Structure 1
Amino acid sequence: MLRTLAIGNYRSLRELEMPLARLNLITGANGSGKSNLYRALRLLAETAQGGVVRALAREGGLPSVLWAGPEQFSAGMRRGEVPVQGGPRQAPVALRLGFAGEDFGYAIDLGLPVPSMSAFALDPEIKREVIWSGPFLREANALVDRRGPMARIREGRAWRIVAEHLTPFESLFTQIADPVSAPEVLDLRERIRGWRFYDHFRTDAEAPARLPQLGTRTPVLSHDGHDLAAAWQTIREIGDRAALDAAVEDAFPGAQVEVDVRDGRFQLVFAQHGLLRPLSAAELSDGTLRYLLWIAALHTPRPPPLMVLNEPETSLHPDLLPALARLIAQAAQRGQVWVVSHASRLIAALEEHEDCHTVQLEKALGQTGVAGQGLLDRPAWHWPER
């Protein structure tokens, strides 16, 4: 489980360190930085997939995602006595992402490339990567250290160089992960690859979830929900069938959801008291279909180490939000869950659970921070130096 998340110089997240729990609720006013935090976490996950530089390119490149304000705010700027203004840069350009878990921590530092004649001269380069043990980085607990093209691994009290020519645009997760020589890298890479993000389920008239699909065993619902019926049937056969049915009853009393299989094609059907025939997925309202998608996602027989739900209240009737909160709280018993939301009823329902850790974001001078967080409230954190 992640205990600390740290972001430096990503959009409005100039300097953010926040503690985490098993169930995390991220709230805040529009424009406070919730989406930036979600996107930073997705960017961090891309390091294990080998796509962090490509992900930055999709956002417009490093100059587009970097903090746009001054390096430091003077006391006069904070009090509004002098205008906000920049000055000569004192530190190198750096986009930093990192986390600390219950056993390992990881940090990556991306910066501008060395000037060259390459046609890819705008690609950011990975300057530092470090994996350590414990809650925060110290010199004594570093396990894997990558500086530019060179990577070394700790062996006892000494270091062993494992690579001297790493490419600057790929993480060490894709270049030196090995079960023998670098087991920590391999272990952490697989954990990060197990993170699961749900951002938007299609429920329009042409949404794949509404149409019969060829079905195979599906322990993990896809991010777009096209395999909903197959995932539902998989849960019924190898997952918690009773919990699945209870979730339907909690949201839609008296209703039953079954999977209709014809010639290998799977489709959900929804039977409700008072109707003479069950409704197909194509006939369901957007809200009902979206809620069934959340039921399938949160009852996966293969719980991830981290599941992130971005605005799960979208298209749902407010009366369904307390039931959704119960679904999320149950999922948090099997793995760490993040919820990014601004729906007051969902927030209130989640906060009724004692394990819910609420992080309210606020923005001042263009910079996102945690409301009420003082210097002593921040978790211990140290970035690796270049």
Structure 2
Amino acid sequence: MARQKRLTHLSLENYRSVRSLDLELSPLTAFIGPNGSGKSNVLSAIRFLSTTASKDLESAIAQFGGFHRVHREAAGTGRLDPVRIGVAGIVTAHASYNAPDEYDLAFSQKKSGRITRDEAFVFKRAPGQGRRRRIHVTGAEITTGDEDGKASASDSRDVQFALASELTTGLFAAQAVQVARDDNRGIVEFAEFLKSLIVFEPQVREIVEPVRSAGGRDDRPPVRLAADGANLAPVLEQLRMQAPESYGALVSDMKECLPGLEDIVLDMRGGATDYTVVQIVERGARQPFDLADASYGTVRMLALLTALHQLNPPAVMAIEEVDSGLHPYALDVLVERLRTATGRTQLLVSSHSPTFVNRLDPEEIVVCDRDPESGESVIPAVGSGDIRRAVEAAGGMGAGELWFAGVLDGVPRGA
């Protein structure tokens, strides 16, 4: 089995509400806190970084509303300190927890409006104790060499070359960087990893629309569930054909969450083109009904479980308001499935629900708060060790109950 790729660390500076953040990431990390505390901004930073790998920096800034929307100005100073997003992870062939891949992107805007950026990527070229490779980009110039700047006989080919634009990131130009020197190929792998990261936000209206059928083939490459879940039907169709046991497990999970549910069936309908309609079979009903007629919570739960059971999950998946629209009865199943899924995909989720948080381990919880004076996000507001000690001292109260009571911070100031 191929080694699972994942992020181990995230750091932010001056990104939206976040002045400074330095965070270790678990296989399952849940961001909890009141509205406006910065949970969504952390997940937004992950999405922004992925966008720079897919569309370049200038396009990413524009897509996220312009520099003024992604940058947090130092209160009362007018300073435009750089936005910085840094990640570490185990992605390339020789990365490890002790020597992870590291990527850092910093960008700022001059008074003239010109965007400038500086980025660096460090990775191991070979197994063992050898020096790591460093690719540094500033302006339109890329410099490749060893992390410590020392040269050896094999480093005589270290090169400098120019990109087409000062806003072309090394991630976006990864293929060109590799061509410049073949042992720079780690940046291509890291760029592809970042491109695959998604923030999953199921959109019920799009999910229930009929979708063209997969055509009955069972030998196609796995289809990944879209970030909005709009291709739910073909993903389920493929799961049923290629992994019937996984499809059966998904249906079993849905039955646990919805006691009246008997089955989930896929109805192939003809017309100008064949398309697939997801249908729900309920106990006592005379016939199945289309997913479009199901409740919001039913559609969303099916989308979440499909994301977790799918054949080809992304390496890292963030889920906004993971428990939204779900009955507390379903949360046991959801948390169990989230943990199981971390064997194939790293999960970053946000939640407002104490009932959901009660089911998490302290090491999986990141409490988010906001400084009432500066307006800056405080993340984490309390360490996982303090959460564990509070739970142990609470005599049976769960982390969610302690958080709701204000013991762990991360609640509205008026609460």
Q: Same fold (TM over 0.5)?
A: yes
User: 1:43 touches 1:52 (CA, 8 Å); kept in 2?
Assistant: no
Q: Tell me by how many angstroms 1:166 deviates.
A: 4.2
Structure 1 residue identity aligned to 2:366: V
1:139-168 superposed Cα distances (whole Å, 9 cap, x missing partner): x64521112211122266447224224411
Query: Is the 2:236–2:247 contact (alpha carbons within 8 Å) kept by the matching residues of 1?
Result: no
Work out the CA distance in 2 between the residues paired with 1:250 and 1:15. Answer: 41
CA shift, 1:336, in A, is: 0.8
Q: 1:130 is matched with which residue: 101, 115, 120?
A: 120
Can you give the 5+ residue segments of structure 1 that lack an aligned partner in the other structure?
Answer: 71-84, 116-121, 135-139, 375-386
What residue number does 1:147 align with?
A: 138
Of residues 44-53 and 258-267 in structure 1, the stretch that sits farther from structure 2 once superposed is 44-53
Distance in 2 separating the partners of 1:123 and 1:130: 20
Matches within 5 A, 1:213-232: 213-216=211-214, 219-232=223-236
| Alignment match, 1:262 | 269
**Aligned residue runs from structure 1 range 203-352, under 5 A:** 203=204, 207-216=205-214, 219-239=223-243, 240-253=246-259, 254-263=261-270, 264-349=274-359, 351=360
Counterpart of 2:377 in structure 1 is: 368
Relative to structure 1, is the Cα distance of residues 316 and 373 closer, same or farther in structure 2, using a 3 angstrom cutoff?
closer
How many Å separate the matches in 2 of 1:31 and 1:226?
28
Partner residue, 2:203: 202
TM-score by length of 2: 0.75
Tell me, in whole angstroms, the C-alpha distance in 1 between the residues paired with 2:342 and 2:12.
24
Aligned pair in 2 of structure 1 residues 262, 237: CA closer, same or farther (>3 Å)?
A: same
Q: Output one character per residue of 1:162-205: Cα deviation in whole Å (capped at 9) or x when no partner.
A: 42244112211222423636301101011111212212x222xx
CA contact (8 A) 1:236 1:244 kept: no
**Which one of 165, 168, 173 corresponds to residue 167 of structure 1?**
165
- Assess if the C-alpha contact under 8 Å between 2:307 and 2:313 holds in 1: no
Structure 1 segments of 4+ aligned residues over 6 angstroms from their partners: none
Amino acid at match of 1:224: D
In structure 2, C-alpha distance between the alignment counterparts of 1:63 and 1:226, rounded to whole Å: 31
Higher alpha-carbon deviation: 153-162 or 183-192: 153-162
Return the offset for 1:54. Answer: 2.4
Corresponding residue pairs, total: 338
Q: Secondary structure at the match of 1:173?
A: coil
Q: Distance in 2 between matches of 1:183 and 1:125?
A: 25
What secondary structure, in the 3-state scheme, does the structure 2 residue paired with 1:129 have?
strand
After TM superposition, the structure 1 = structure 2 runs for residues 47-62 of structure 1, keeping only pairs within 5 Å, are 47-62=52-67
Secondary structure of 1:29's aligned partner: coil
Residue 168 of structure 2 aligns with an amino acid whose one-letter code is E
Q: Is the 8 A contact 2:12 2:19 kept in 1?
A: yes
* Kept in 1: contact 2:171–2:191 (CA 8 A): yes
2:195 corresponds to 1:193? yes
| Contact 1:7 1:97 (C-alpha < 8 Å) held by counterparts | yes
Q: Alignment partner of 2:228: what SS?
A: coil
Structure-2 residue corresponding to 1:101: 89
Task: Return the alpha-carbon distance in structure 1 between the equivalents of residues 370 and 136 of structure 2.
Answer: 34
Using structure 1 for the length normalisation, give the TM-score.
0.80
State the Cα deviation string for residues 126-150 of structure 1 (Å, max 9, x = none). Answer: 2x1111138xxxxx64521112211
Distance (whole Å) between structure 1 residues aligned to residue 143 and residue 85 of structure 2: 20
- CA shift, 1:113, in A, is 4.6
Q: Is the 8 A contact 1:34 1:361 kept in 2?
A: yes
Unpaired segments of 5 or more residues in structure 2?
Answer: 1-5, 96-100, 125-130, 215-219, 385-415
Deviation at 1:93, TM superposition (A): 2.9
- Look up the equivalent residue of 2:226 and give its one-letter code: S
2:397 is aligned to none
Instruction: Call closer, same or farther: CA 1:225–1:335 in 2, change over 3 Å.
Output: closer
Instruction: Using the aligned pairs only, state the percent identity.
Output: 24
Amino acid at match of 2:358: A
- Which range is displaced more, 215-224 or 331-340? 215-224
Alpha-carbon shift at residue 125 of structure 1 (Å): 2.6
Letter in 1 for 2:121: I
